[in-house]
Structure 1
Amino acid sequence: MPGSLADLVAGIHHGIDADEAMCWVARLTEWDRYQGSAGIAAAADFVAGEAERAGLVGVEVLSFPADGRTTWWTFTAPSSWTPRAAHLSVPGRPALVDYPAQPYTLAAHSAAAHTEAPLVRAQDDGWPPGAVVLVPSAARLDAKLHARIRHERAIGFCVSTGPDRQEGAGRLELPGGSALFGFSVVPGQMDVLHRAHSRGERARVVVDVDTTPARMPVVVARTPARDARLSPLSPLSPLSPLSPDACLITAHLCHPAPGANDNASGVAAALAAGRVLAARPLRRPVRFLWAPEFVGLAAYVHRLVEEGAGPLPTMAVDLDMVGQDQRRCGGPLIVERSPEYLPHFANALVEACVRALPAAARSYSGAVGCDVWAWRTTPFVGASDHAVLADRAIGCPSVQLGHWPDRFNHSGADTLDKVDPQELRRSAAIAASAAAVVATAGAPEADRLAHLLTRWTARRMTARLPPDDDPLAATALARHARYGRDALDTLRPFGADPGVLDRQAALLDGLHHTLAAAWDHVPVQRHGGPPLRRAWPGPFNLRALMGAVNESDRHWFTRRLAEDRGRFYASAMALAQSVDGVSGTADVVRTAQLDAGIRWEQGFGERFLAAMAGAGWVKEGEREGEGEGERSEGGKGN
């Protein structure tokens, strides 16, 4: 990208106040931000106030039901549940578990309790009624054990969250409205409970929760309208109610305290991006949204799409776990690309903004910038809010910024000291810079973006050259070339010169022709079979699918999730998104493997698609557009 992008990124990076952002993170860690709780309501009010103070306008806290019944497509509203306090003790010792002093120790949606109860082990026979079950690991807390807990009338359980959680308990969740309570304990606490069990002692349990009906908050804001005083406006430019926002920057607001990196850091980074953008002359508005993960954004997007509340943004950037101290937590910054089925310049732009960040140091000669932080790009996974926007049913190109792995994620050890102010600053600068480019682009900028997109595509294509041992490498090369050509077309609404776009497309065609010669023979892959089409409403929702499949398929899903949660989730998302109404089963499986960058054992993809078909989520033999009357409505209580 030309120096103008480097200057833009440097200026925005300089304008991010890392100290202020860390103060926002610290404040947010004080609230338990469960999705339908008093804590998230307080956090939403705080964010709205800070957004106004940062210069954003149109700030509003939207209110949606938190009744556990209302749905938006297949996303169900959270249940109202605010934890106050919880204690677990055995004779002769102070409280073994003391919530909220010990974060994450109380399972979400635990039922109220005030009792003394016998302790039993999960492997014991003949539990007495009203027992507290000691479970050795979260993996053992499966559907079979839950069924036994209900059958033998146990009132709750304690689960050891494993030796990797010595610094803090790990996350546990129960369904909304559960009649059970649960405690997450570290191995040392579980040892104390086992000794108490061996002595025949009873545990004293107090769980104080508030289930008074609450609301689910969604905070929205946008940059103020200003005169950009740039080149003449493009066809996309008019600031009218029907014009799309240049970019939507999202960050999920939920998670128990402290939740510093996940996701107080994302919320703070979005606020920091908002402050720096609010002070800039932008041709088009940038919108911000803070909401409960998945369901909050689904409720908001449902209003836009199904209720006609407004157009979708041109693109989106999702900020989720963006402040990690890489040395302590163990993972680089991840730029997760928008999916392959949505060709767009967004991926190339965001990656260019990362590359343009000012280096903290220089090489010995000063010729090369040097940094100690790391970043990587990955294919689309969709394990955060961007999945709702980027789904085929919605079609908004969405890039996610985050960190993985993170050894403290979803535990009480995700504290403020795990957040690096400079990493937070970099993430905010990347999101704000990409949004600023889209919000100010006219014809000259669109032409420069076309050149950037061509270089980005060329890098992807050359990475597929032999000796790439991927049997689908040649196919991927062709798909990358096609993606780049199609993505060039997304610059036309910004006034890009058609001649520039045509020349860049010709360059990609020529490069593809040259690189394809590296393979002696590329078999033409043609797969017949009836096409598969989506039969579920709205964006894909793995949790809802697991509730819809039969018992055998649910057990298979659960087992695969336990084996490798991230791999299974990414595979499920890729398979679901490859159902396009045109491709048959074999093509869906092949496309999903290409898009996810994952190779499965024989039959995995077919097994998953068969489960979807059995649940009525996939139909065979109908072309896209047929059977539209079967589409179900969202937003209704059920």
Structure 2
Amino acid sequence: MPGSLTDLVAGIHHGIDADEAMCWVARLTEWDRYQGSRGIAAAADFVAGEAERAGLAGVEILNFPADGRTSWWTFTAPSSWTPRSARLSLPGRTALVDYPAQPYTLAAHSAATHGEAALVHAQDDRWPPGALVLVPSVAGLDGKLFARMRVERASGFCVRTGSDRPDGAGRVELPGGSALFGFSVVPGQMDALLRAYHRGERARVDVDVDTTPARMPVVVARTPGGSGAAPSSPDACLITAHLCHPAPGANDNASGVAAALAAGRVLAARRLRRPVRFLWAPEFVGLAAYVHRLVEEGRGPLPMMAVDLDMVGQDQRRCGGPLIVEHSPEYLPHFASALVEACVRALPPAAHSYSGAVGCDVWAWRSTPFVGASDHAVLADRAIGCPAVQLGHWPDRFNHSGADTLDKVDPQELRRSAAIAASAAAVVATAGAEEADRLAPLLTRWTARRMTACLPPDDDPLASDLLSRRWRYGRDALDTLRPLGAGRDVLERQADLLAGLHHTLSKAWDEVPAAARGGPSLHRSWPGPFNLRALMGAVDETDRRWFQRRLADDRGRFYASAMALAQSVDGVSGTAGVVRTAQLDAGIRWEPGFGERFLAAMAGAGWVKEKDGDGEEGREPS
């Protein structure tokens, strides 16, 4: 397998046209791709046309309502909102804020307005009706301030975000149908507004938006042929990339959209046993609408695996982050993560060591535990059960700002990402029994690396538990090669190797921590895939403020923790077991009481229930 995989990846990498992909990125950055906007509809039309030109079959745009009301599980359709222009001016001066010339400066879902407004400070004791509230820090834009703006009838706000760069304004969002307008400004613009405030000046505000009914488009396509697959059999792989984002959004996520198109072009030219499907949609909600059709409406089977492409073109030197391979979750044992990592390792090196023995590159990559901060979370949720790996980059110093422009995308990084996704899909789409047998030792080696990484001197008190969990994952993942034709003897031999390795490595610990105490099992009682935004709308005000504080402290850590805790509710484990498993899977260790506090908030919202041993409902987690 290693030699043939190297050849496969090299051939696909060679077939990716980076220049064409960059042209796709450039074209997409011209549209403001808000989820329920005319811009995303135009982008969807463009992507569908390019998918057909790339040789993909069955290209279709599924149109869902953008009415702010229709929902799929807990995911609600976006409101129709297309921004046209917005200006914020001070007396006797040219426009201080001018959208769309200054990207990101208009808050999403701002209300239309035309007129003058008194400038007030967020900390002023009183505001006149219709005031424009100046918020010097994004941390001050909280629920209390929005409540006060509603009570005192403010017309809108202006908040300082981002960096000192002229194009550094950061993303600000209002709920659909908001009566407020909002501006996101850089420090220099806020300083000018504060000086005008101290002079007692008024501002001129003009916001022009289109809220007439629009559509939420989801573009789907597949590779032609699929000679070895039965009509009702699952697709080999789903490659997905979210289509939405304010302009320019070059890396996030025009790069993912373009990489999926590039993967589609190279796969369309290959003879495959099983089809590969592609999907471009508004993030989370678009994929939720599509998956809801498959699961709840019986429109077809789920794919065997998925690869999500989100922020895959980053210029690592300029943006500051490596390529990230985010594993499929631990509760879904599967070969997908091992395969994608193997495809990364098989990429043709740009150079070699002095002797030629070792390939050398100047780009970096890392693998991380499952987080679920993009579309793959919908597929990989415990309720859906489709293994999904994400390719992306983090950190990115220009993310969610007007500085996410075409010059931040590296054509060769885009090429590598497209090649990784296409190669992994091609392996599954072409595999027969012989190829599946060769995947088994690849999965064993990957599992062995993960297991040995748990060894001392790591002082993690959960290290021995993590070793066992990773062993069980690899053992059970071997069985997912059976649908590809892997032989029973091959799989049993690899499983025996892993069992022996686990037995040997377990001797590294003199004492193993006691298992989590028992208690009533926790059960999911929310519909469909987990949705943190919906949970925040369901919890009480005290819990909501706690969530908001934790998000403000460290958004990524809290999101990953929330996802891990929710997905660890398995209907078997009690509170202590859920907390322990979530820490293992997220790779995060929390302060005492954090996990219990989060689960109690879920229970208070009716999202989690306890049941005793005979299945009867009991008390909520304390």
TM (norm. structure 2) is 0.98
Q: 1:427 & 1:104 partners in 2: Cα distance?
A: 27
- Residues 623 and 76 of structure 1, relative CA distance in 2, 3 Å threshold: farther
Q: Which residue of 2 aligns with 1:45?
A: 45
Shift of residue 608, structure 1, vs aligned partner: 0.2
Q: Which residue of 2 aligns with 1:549?
A: 539
Q: 1:521 & 1:108 partners in 2: Cα distance?
A: 54
Q: Which residue of 1 aligns with 2:132?
A: 132
Q: Which residue of 1 aligns with 2:116?
A: 116
Shift of residue 504, structure 1, vs aligned partner: 0.3
Instruction: Identify which of 510, 517, 529 aligns with 1:520.
Output: 510
Shift of residue 163, structure 1, vs aligned partner: 3.5
Shift of residue 166, structure 1, vs aligned partner: 5.1
Shift of residue 424, structure 1, vs aligned partner: 0.1
Residue type of the partner of 1:292? P
Q: 1:105 & 1:375 partners in 2: Cα distance?
A: 33
In structure 2, the gaps of 5 or more residues are 618-622
**Partner-residue secondary structure (3-state), 2:103:** coil
Q: Which residue of 1 aligns with 2:9?
A: 9
Tell me whether 1:621 sits opposite 2:607 in the alignment: no
Q: 2:226 & 2:386 partners in 1: Cα distance?
A: 25
Residue type of the partner of 2:431? A
Query: Which structure 2 residues correspond to residues 171-186 of structure 1 after superposition, within 5 A?
Result: 171-186=171-186
Instruction: Identify which of 339, 358, 362 aligns with 2:352.
Output: 362
Residue type of the partner of 1:312? L
Listed one character per residue, the Cα deviations across residues 31-58 of structure 1 (whole Å, up to 9, x for unaligned) are: 0000000000000000000000000000
**Partner-residue secondary structure (3-state), 2:420:** helix
Q: Which residue of 2 aligns with 1:231?
A: none
Q: Which residue of 2 aligns with 1:234?
A: none
Q: Which residue of 2 aligns with 1:73?
A: 73
Shift of residue 513, structure 1, vs aligned partner: 0.5
Shift of residue 495, structure 1, vs aligned partner: 1.2
Instruction: Identify which of 508, 512, 534 aligns with 2:524.
Output: 534
Tell me whether 1:423 sits opposite 2:413 in the alignment: yes
Shift of residue 168, structure 1, vs aligned partner: 1.9
- Residues 626 and 11 of structure 1, relative CA distance in 2, 3 Å threshold: farther
Shift of residue 195, structure 1, vs aligned partner: 1.0
Q: 2:162 & 2:37 partners in 1: Cα distance?
A: 28
Tell me whether 1:272 sits opposite 2:257 in the alignment: no
Shift of residue 524, structure 1, vs aligned partner: 3.9
**Partner-residue secondary structure (3-state), 1:517:** helix
**Partner-residue secondary structure (3-state), 2:403:** coil
Which shows bigger deviation, 157-166 or 186-195? 157-166
Q: Which runs of 4+ in 1 moved over 6 A?
A: 623-627
Q: Which residue of 2 aligns with 1:238?
A: 229
Provide the aligned C-alpha RMSD in A. 1.2
Q: Which residue of 2 aligns with 1:310?
A: 300
Shift of residue 167, structure 1, vs aligned partner: 3.6
Preserved contact between residue 523 and residue 569 of structure 2 (Cα < 8 Å) = yes
Shift of residue 523, structure 1, vs aligned partner: 3.4
Residue type of the partner of 1:160? R
Q: Which residue of 1 aligns with 2:620?
A: none
Query: Which structure 2 residues correspond to residues 216-255 of structure 1 after superposition, within 5 A?
Result: 216-225=216-225, 227=227, 237-240=228-231, 242-255=232-245
Q: 2:115 & 2:612 partners in 1: Cα distance?
A: 57
Shift of residue 185, structure 1, vs aligned partner: 0.4
Preserved contact between residue 526 and residue 607 of structure 2 (Cα < 8 Å) = yes
Listed one character per residue, the Cα deviations across residues 564-597 of structure 1 (whole Å, up to 9, x for unaligned) are: 0000000000000000000000000000000000
Q: 1:531 & 1:200 partners in 2: Cα distance?
A: 61
Preserved contact between residue 164 and residue 188 of structure 2 (Cα < 8 Å) = no
Q: Which residue of 1 aligns with 2:596?
A: 606
Q: 2:546 & 2:614 partners in 1: Cα distance?
A: 29
Q: 1:162 & 1:395 partners in 2: Cα distance?
A: 38
Shift of residue 609, structure 1, vs aligned partner: 0.1
Q: 1:164 & 1:390 partners in 2: Cα distance?
A: 39
Residue type of the partner of 2:4? S
**Partner-residue secondary structure (3-state), 2:508:** coil
Q: Which residue of 1 aligns with 2:478?
A: 488
Preserved contact between residue 250 and residue 404 of structure 2 (Cα < 8 Å) = yes
Preserved contact between residue 60 and residue 220 of structure 2 (Cα < 8 Å) = yes
Tell me whether 1:577 sits opposite 2:567 in the alignment: yes
Shift of residue 238, structure 1, vs aligned partner: 2.5
**Partner-residue secondary structure (3-state), 2:267:** helix
**Partner-residue secondary structure (3-state), 1:429:** helix
- Residues 279 and 624 of structure 1, relative CA distance in 2, 3 Å threshold: farther
Q: 1:394 & 1:439 partners in 2: Cα distance?
A: 21
Residue type of the partner of 1:508? L
Q: 1:65 & 1:547 partners in 2: Cα distance?
A: 22
Q: Which residue of 2 aligns with 1:636?
A: none
Shift of residue 125, structure 1, vs aligned partner: 1.3
Q: 1:443 & 1:583 partners in 2: Cα distance?
A: 37
Shift of residue 622, structure 1, vs aligned partner: 5.7
Query: Which structure 2 residues correspond to residues 385-534 of structure 1 after superposition, within 5 A?
Result: 385-534=375-524
Query: Which structure 2 residues correspond to residues 19-98 of structure 1 after superposition, within 5 A?
Result: 19-98=19-98
Q: Which residue of 2 aligns with 1:322?
A: 312
In structure 1, the gaps of 5 or more residues are 228-236, 628-638
Instruction: Identify which of 219, 234, 258 aligns with 2:248.
Output: 258
Which shows bigger deviation, 332-341 or 122-131? 122-131
Preserved contact between residue 381 and residue 530 of structure 2 (Cα < 8 Å) = yes
- Residues 622 and 20 of structure 1, relative CA distance in 2, 3 Å threshold: farther
- Residues 349 and 144 of structure 1, relative CA distance in 2, 3 Å threshold: same
Shift of residue 468, structure 1, vs aligned partner: 1.2
- Residues 58 and 563 of structure 1, relative CA distance in 2, 3 Å threshold: same
- Residues 45 and 626 of structure 1, relative CA distance in 2, 3 Å threshold: farther
Q: 1:39 & 1:622 partners in 2: Cα distance?
A: 51
- Residues 324 and 620 of structure 1, relative CA distance in 2, 3 Å threshold: same
Q: 2:566 & 2:499 partners in 1: Cα distance?
A: 30
Preserved contact between residue 164 and residue 187 of structure 2 (Cα < 8 Å) = no
Q: 2:448 & 2:94 partners in 1: Cα distance?
A: 64
Q: Which residue of 2 aligns with 1:192?
A: 192
Shift of residue 226, structure 1, vs aligned partner: 5.0
Shift of residue 368, structure 1, vs aligned partner: 1.1
Listed one character per residue, the Cα deviations across residues 486-523 of structure 1 (whole Å, up to 9, x for unaligned) are: 00000111111100100000000000001111111213
% identical aligned pairs: 86
Q: Which residue of 2 aligns with 1:207?
A: 207
Tell me whether 1:344 sits opposite 2:334 in the alignment: yes
Listed one character per residue, the Cα deviations across residues 525-548 of structure 1 (whole Å, up to 9, x for unaligned) are: 141110000000000000000000
Shift of residue 625, structure 1, vs aligned partner: 8.8
Residue type of the partner of 1:447? D
Q: 2:164 & 2:513 partners in 1: Cα distance?
A: 47
Q: 1:200 & 1:542 partners in 2: Cα distance?
A: 42
Q: 2:221 & 2:229 partners in 1: Cα distance?
A: 19
Q: 1:625 & 1:398 partners in 2: Cα distance?
A: 31
Q: 2:141 & 2:382 partners in 1: Cα distance?
A: 34
- Residues 162 and 260 of structure 1, relative CA distance in 2, 3 Å threshold: closer
Listed one character per residue, the Cα deviations across residues 466-502 of structure 1 (whole Å, up to 9, x for unaligned) are: 1111100011111111111100000111111100100
Shift of residue 623, structure 1, vs aligned partner: 7.2
Q: 2:594 & 2:604 partners in 1: Cα distance?
A: 15
Q: Which residue of 2 aligns with 1:141?
A: 141
Preserved contact between residue 239 and residue 307 of structure 2 (Cα < 8 Å) = yes
Aligned residues: 617
Which shows bigger deviation, 159-168 or 449-458? 159-168
Shift of residue 207, structure 1, vs aligned partner: 0.2
Q: Which residue of 2 aligns with 1:161?
A: 161
Preserved contact between residue 533 and residue 624 of structure 1 (Cα < 8 Å) = no
Listed one character per residue, the Cα deviations across residues 406-446 of structure 1 (whole Å, up to 9, x for unaligned) are: 00000000000000000000000000000000000110111
Preserved contact between residue 247 and residue 316 of structure 1 (Cα < 8 Å) = yes
